[in-house]
Structure formats: C-alpha cells, structure tokens
C-alpha cells in the first residue's frame, strides 16, 4: 500500500557525466526525486534524455566511462529488529563499492531491474530456469519454522530456498509471465527462445526475488499487447502483495498513464516537470510536456491528419543551448529571457513541479526582457503558441503563469485578445469572475454571433471555447486562442 511519507529511494541532485573524446555528456544533470514504498513513478522523455542512465545509477551500475560527479542516492532499507517489528536504515548507494558485497546483496534482491536490452542480460550458456533459480537462491527467503511456542508471536525466522523450491518458483514465474509449457521451457537456453520470450524471462528473473524496488526500463516494448497486459497485471499484483515500488521508464504514454502514480518528465538530463499522473495529463505545465502529450496519436483523429511532432532536434550534448536548454524548440520561447536564464525547478501547485521561466520569473534585465516585463500581465496565462500543442485528454492544454495578484478586468489580460475581450464587454462581461459564471450555451451564442463581425477565424471552434470559458477555465479559454498561429492571433 502506497504511503506518501514512507520513502524507499531518494535521489538528490544526482549528476552522472561521461567524459569522452569530444567533451562531456551530462547524461544526468541534477536529478532529484523520491519513490515511496508501494509507489509507481513513471519516467518519460525523448530518446537520450538520460532515463536509462538514471535507472542504472540507482543500481550503482553506471556504464564506463560514466561517473557520479555529484548528488546522493539513499535507499531506506527495512531491517528486522529481532522479531520486534521493522525499522529502516539509510543506505547511501552512491557511496558503496560498485563491485562490493553490499551492493550485490541489494542488486537483484532489494532492487531489481528489467533492462532495456534483454539480449545482453542473459548468459547464453545458462538456461532460462538457471537464471531465475540463481536469483531466487541468492535473494529469496521463505518463512521458517517458528521457534518455541512462547516466542512464536514475535519471532519468525526466514530461511533460504531449496534447489527444488527454486525450480518450482522458476517454473511458476515463467508461467506467470506467459511462457507456454513452462515445465519444459525452464530448461531452454536463451537462443532457443524468441525475442519476446527472452524479454519475459528477464521480467521473471527481476520479479522472482520480490524486490522492494523494480526498475523497469521499457519492459514491454518487445511484447504484443496481450502479453504486455499480462505482465503489467503481474507487476501490479506483486506490488499489492509484497509492497513493491516501481520505477517505470517508457515511451508509451498509455501504459504510463495506467501504471504510474506520479510522472517525471526528463529533458537533457534534468527533470522539467513532475506531478501526480492525473495532474500531468490534465494540466501539463511545461511546454515540452505539452508537446510530448500532443504527440500521442488520438483514435478520434482523422487518419489523414499529420501526427503532431515536437519541433526541432534534441540538442548536441557537447554544445548545449544557453539558458533553458529547451529554448531552441520551445513554442513559448521568450527572447532575451529563455536564452539567458536557466530556469529553476519550482513547486507551482502542491505536488506539481516545473522548470520553466513562464513560472519562475527570475528574468534578467536584458533589453529584450524590459518590454516583456512591462507588458506582462499581473497574472494570466502565457500560452505556448503552436497548432500542434494540445494535451490529449483535455480539449486543450494550458501553460499558466500566475505572476502576481489576479486582476479581474478582462481588458488587462494580454492573453485574452482585444477582439474577444471587446465582444464580451459588449454584452456586459467585463471580469473573469463573470466569464466563469456565464452559461456555456449563452457564451456560445454571443461568440458565434459576434465572430463574423469581428472577422474571427474559424467560428466553428467558438462553441468549444465558450464551453471552457463557462466551465470556469478561463485560462484554457485563453490558451485556445494561443493555439492559433502567431499570424492568426495578430489578426
Ligand atoms: N557508455 C556511454 N558513453 C558515453 N555516453 C553515453 C553512454 N551511455 C549513455 N550515454 C549518453 O548518455 C545520454 C543518456 O543516455 P540514456 O541511455 O540514459 O538515454 P535514454 O533516455 O534511456 O534514451 P532511450 O529512450 O533511447 O533509451 C545520451 O546522450 C547517451 O548518448
Ligand atoms: S523557460 Fe522559456 S524556453 Fe524554456 S520551456 Fe519555459 S518558455 Fe520555453
Ligand atoms: Mg534508455
């Protein structure tokens, strides 16, 4: 059962750099997150953003020539107090000898990983069963006979598994990950299994030890959807029964939405947004997250419609852009600000963190920033200008930057646009409070009537906007306008 105040893994300001011939790759660059006991944290982000390196570092398995150059990884390990309940101790994973006894006990037993490349993780000369039995023999413990009648309540010793028990567990795990004829497949070598079956053996090894933390790096990519569903069910079942936490890395937004309690969005080695899953999908804040979510294909979309993509390319790791590293690709880029200042990671709403200067207003005093500062609304939304940016689960996504106190005068809100503001004022709606309280159908009529007179583009979209405005979501109302291209907005 997940408990918000029961941390299992704490990662603080972690930096993992690779010094290579052409320079330094900052694969993980100031990563901070917590995984609570029983919690599933999803990690998403484009290829190369540092997801796998972060995961391997938690296992203290940084590939060469990578080095942890800063930060800490704390594992809150449960220790039995002689039968008198359990306490936790702090283990600094980053301080352990990466080849030493202690980390080997932790790896596989307490923290297990399903690697992105299953092929390289199975030894060709050992059978599927051997791999599982080895993990189980080293790390799995079963309840032993209790000692003495008077002490039975408090003391329950644990014992290792026998060879026969390990084989039975191996067969059972192979069956549970969907391998047909597990009694015979247990003796198959990796080359006798298909790619998907090898992936499932990997999953069986990781789950067989009942770890505290399962790190699953693209665990089901090679599997068909029915097997994927079976594996996800198995993970959830184990999570319930052994209170397992999961660090779930994936490119599949549907899967992460289904599995994760919280989502971390990474870009170029940093966390750019972190929120509860429902909040991230409902109200993504960072322009990168919005673009990522917009790139999910929608079943309702017409098949001839181009799939939304994130503009530009992932930057060259040896030549990172100044200021916000996302700025060359960001539709909400503010010249003289985003290219000058590195945004800080701040908590925008309880539990919802974002790294973006739309929220963090530590702007420089550059000549370009001056007029922006002056024209900046005291509050309101600064929306990402793009036609492809729209969160999939909402009619639109909002990039909202509450700057100072909330004004209530429509005219003062830069983002709402003079024409819409004029239309609303004509019918006596002059404040956001009034706008939020106006009935959707009434708003629809007002806007549709006035649209042609003000030569508004695409009046067919007005009903949807009216709906949003009436629902009290004026920021989304505003954002819809921003989804028009810059040229259309200037009309
Ligand atoms: N052994 C290595 N030597 C040098 N650079 C490396 C090494 N391993 C990874 N990197 C670099 O570190 C960065 C992060 O890589 P990582 O494998 O964590 O990406 P990822 O987010 O898991 O991507 P994907 O979604 O493609 O799996 C990349 O720029 C990668 O090129
Ligand atoms: S800081 Fe600027 S460039 Fe970076 S994500 Fe925010 S708006 Fe875009
Ligand atoms: Mg990876």
Ligand 1 centroid to residue 271 C-alpha, Å:
15
280 versus 334: the higher-pLDDT residue is 280
392 versus 225: the higher-pLDDT residue is 225
Judged by average pLDDT, the poorest of 35-44, 73-82, 154-163, 258-267 is: 154-163
Residues 54 and 139 in one domain: no
- Kindly state whether residue 376 falls inside one of the protein's structural domains: no
Tell me: the pLDDT tens digits for 335-350? 888 998 899 998 989 9
Residues 169 and 84 in one domain: no
- Kindly state whether residue 391 falls inside one of the protein's structural domains: no
Domain boundary among 223, 248, 282: 282
Residues 55 and 181 in one domain: no
Interaxial angle between packed helices 440-453 and 418-426, expressed in degrees from 0 to 180 and rounded to the nearest 10? 120
- Kindly state whether residue 294 falls inside one of the protein's structural domains: no
Give me the mean pLDDT over the 207-228 stretch: 87
Q: Which residue has the tokens 């391997």?
A: 56
Q: Closest ligand to 290 CA?
A: 2
User: What is the CATH classification number for the domain harbouring 218?
Assistant: 3.40.50.300
Q: What is the pLDDT of residue 199?
A: 85
Residue pair 45/51 in contact (Cβ under 8 Å)? The answer is yes
Residues flanking ligand 1, CB < 6 Å = 18, 20, 25, 27, 45, 47-53, 63, 66, 116, 317
Q: What is the pLDDT of residue 389?
A: 35
Tell me: the pLDDT tens digits for 127-184? 999 999 988 888 777 666 555 544 544 455 666 788 888 899 999 999 988 899 999 9
Q: Closest ligand to 385 CA?
A: 2
Ligand 3 centroid to residue 27 C-alpha, Å:
11
Residue nearest to atom 14 of ligand 1 (CA): 50
Q: Closest ligand to 217 CA?
A: 3
Choose which residue among 15, 19, 20, 25 to substitute to test ligand 1 binding: the one with the highest number of ligand atoms within 8 A of its C-beta.
25
Q: What is the pLDDT of residue 210?
A: 87
Tell me: the pLDDT tens digits for 186-207? 999 989 988 888 888 988 998 8
Residues 274 and 182 in one domain: no
Domain boundary among 257, 282, 307: 282
200 versus 456: the higher-pLDDT residue is 200
Ligand 2 centroid to residue 11 C-alpha, Å:
25
The ligand 2 atom at the shortest distance from the C-alpha of residue 332 is: 7
Residues 101 and 27 in one domain: yes
Residues 178 and 236 in one domain: no
Residues 97 and 55 in one domain: yes
φ/ψ of 395, rounded to 5, equals -60, -30
Give me the mean pLDDT over the 264-275 stretch: 96
118 versus 330: the higher-pLDDT residue is 330
The ligand 1 atom at the shortest distance from the C-alpha of residue 20 is: 4
pLDDT value at 246 more than 90: yes
Ligand 3 centroid to residue 427 C-alpha, Å:
55
Residues 83 and 129 in one domain: no
Ligand 2 centroid to residue 307 C-alpha, Å:
23
Judged by average pLDDT, the poorest of 24-33, 64-73, 352-361, 449-458 is: 449-458
CB neighbours of 243 closer than 8 A, spacing ≥ 6? 1, 37, 38, 212
- Kindly state whether residue 332 falls inside one of the protein's structural domains: no
Domain boundary among 171, 189, 210: 210
What whole-number distance in Å separates Cα of residue 383 and Cα of residue 140? Answer: 52
Q: What is the pLDDT of residue 221?
A: 78
Residues 90 and 184 in one domain: no
Average pLDDT, the chain: 76
Ligand 1 centroid to residue 15 C-alpha, Å:
13
Q: Closest ligand to 362 CA?
A: 2
- Kindly state whether residue 297 falls inside one of the protein's structural domains: no
Ligand 2 centroid to residue 172 C-alpha, Å:
50
- Kindly state whether residue 479 falls inside one of the protein's structural domains: yes
Residue pair 424/456 in contact (Cβ under 8 Å)? The answer is no
Q: What is the pLDDT of residue 313?
A: 79
pLDDT class of 228 with cuts at 50, 70, 90: confident
Ligand 1 centroid to residue 51 C-alpha, Å:
8
Give me the mean pLDDT over the 353-368 stretch: 80
The ligand 1 atom at the shortest distance from the C-alpha of residue 269 is: 14
The ligand 2 atom at the shortest distance from the C-alpha of residue 272 is: 5
Q: Closest ligand to 287 CA?
A: 2
Q: What is the pLDDT of residue 432?
A: 58
Q: What is the pLDDT of residue 405?
A: 26
Q: What is the pLDDT of residue 32?
A: 93
Which of 213-222, 270-279, 300-309, 366-375 has the largest mean confidence? Answer: 270-279
CA angle 46, 50, 53 (to 5 degrees): 140
Q: Which residue has the tokens 């106190």?
A: 405
Residues 237 and 165 in one domain: no
Q: What is the pLDDT of residue 233?
A: 87
Residues 170 and 224 in one domain: no
Q: What is the pLDDT of residue 59?
A: 94
pLDDT class of 465 with cuts at 50, 70, 90: low
Residues 45 and 140 in one domain: no
Residue nearest to atom 17 of ligand 1 (CA): 52
Domain range for 418? 407-491
Give me the mean pLDDT over the 43-60 stretch: 94
Choose which residue among 17, 48, 64, 69 to substitute to test ligand 1 binding: the one with the highest number of ligand atoms within 8 A of its C-beta.
48
- Kindly state whether residue 100 falls inside one of the protein's structural domains: yes
pLDDT class of 226 with cuts at 50, 70, 90: confident
High-pLDDT (> 70) share of the chain, %: 67
Ligand 3 centroid to residue 218 C-alpha, Å:
7
What whole-number distance in Å separates Cα of residue 19 and Cα of residue 248? Answer: 28
Q: What is the pLDDT of residue 288?
A: 94
pLDDT class of 453 with cuts at 50, 70, 90: low
What whole-number distance in Å separates Cα of residue 75 and Cα of residue 34? Answer: 10
Give me the mean pLDDT over the 434-447 stretch: 67
The ligand 2 atom at the shortest distance from the C-alpha of residue 339 is: 3
pLDDT class of 434 with cuts at 50, 70, 90: low
Q: What is the pLDDT of residue 124?
A: 86
Q: What is the pLDDT of residue 436?
A: 60
CB neighbours of 392 closer than 8 A, spacing ≥ 6? 253, 281, 293, 294, 296, 298
**Token output for 216:** 């699953």
**What's the structural domain count of the chain?**
3
Residues flanking ligand 2, CB < 6 Å = 286-287, 324, 326-327, 330, 332-334, 338, 343, 356-358
- Kindly state whether residue 249 falls inside one of the protein's structural domains: yes
Ligand 3 centroid to residue 249 C-alpha, Å:
8
């Amino acid at each position: 059962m997940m408990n918000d105040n029961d941390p299992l893994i704490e990662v603080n300001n972690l930096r993992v750099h690779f010094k290579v011939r052409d320079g330094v790759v900052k694969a993980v660059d100031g990563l901070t997150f917590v995984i609570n006991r029983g919690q599933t944290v999803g990690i998403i982000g484009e290829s190369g953003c540092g997801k796998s390196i972060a995961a391997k570092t938690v296992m203290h398995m940084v590939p060469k020539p990578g080095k942890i150059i800063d930060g800490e990884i704390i594992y809150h390990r449960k220790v039995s107090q002689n039968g008198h309940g359990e306490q936790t101790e702090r283990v600094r994973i980053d301080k352990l000898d990466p080849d030493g006894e202690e980390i080997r006990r932790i790896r596989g037993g307490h923290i297990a990983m399903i690697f992105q490349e299953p092929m390289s993780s199975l030894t060709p000369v050992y059978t599927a069963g051997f791999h599982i039995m080895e993990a189980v023999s080293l790390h799995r413990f079963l309840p032993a006979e209790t000692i003495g009648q008077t002490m039975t309540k408090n003391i329950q010793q644990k014992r290792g598994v026998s060879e026969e028990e390990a084989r039975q567990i191996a067969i059972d795990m192979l069956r549970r990950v969907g391998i047909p004829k597990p009694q015979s497949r247990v003796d198959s070598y990796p080359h006798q299994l298909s790619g998907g079956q090898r992936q499932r053996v990997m999953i069986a090894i990781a789950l067989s030890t009942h770890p505290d933390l399962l790190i699953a790096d693209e665990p089901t990519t090679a599997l068909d959807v029915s097997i994927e569903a079976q594996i996800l069910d198995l993970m959830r079942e184990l999570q319930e029964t052994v209170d397992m936490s999961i660090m779930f890395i994936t490119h599949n937004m549907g899967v992460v939405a289904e599995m994760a309690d919280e989502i971390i969005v990474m870009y170029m080695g940093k966390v750019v947004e972190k929120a509860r899953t429902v909040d991230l999908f409902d109200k993504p804040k960072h322009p990168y997250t919005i673009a990522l979510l917009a790139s999910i294909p929608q079943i309702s979309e017409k098949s001839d419609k181009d799939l939304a993509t994130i503009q530009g390319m992932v930057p060259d790791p040896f030549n990172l852009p100044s200021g916000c590293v996302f700025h060359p690709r960001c539709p909400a880029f503010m010249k003289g600000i985003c290219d000058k200042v590195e945004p800080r990671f701040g908590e925008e709403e309880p539990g919802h963190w974002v790294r973006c200067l739309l929220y963090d207003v530590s702007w420089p005093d550059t000549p370009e920033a001056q007029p922006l500062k002056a024209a900046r609304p005291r509050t309101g939304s600064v929306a990402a200008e793009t036609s492809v940016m729209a969160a999939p689960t909402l009619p639109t996504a909002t990039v909202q930057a509450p700057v100072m106190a909330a004004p209530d005068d429509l005219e003062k809100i830069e983002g709402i646009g003079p024409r819409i503001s004029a239309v609303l004022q004509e019918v006596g709606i002059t404040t956001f409070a009034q706008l939020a309280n106006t009935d959707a159908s009434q708003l629809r009529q007002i806007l549709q009537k006035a649209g042609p007179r003000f030569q508004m583009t695409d009046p067919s979209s007005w009903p949807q906007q009216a709906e949003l405005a009436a629902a009290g979501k004026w920021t989304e109302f505003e954002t819809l306008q921003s989804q028009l291209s810059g040229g259309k907005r200037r009309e």
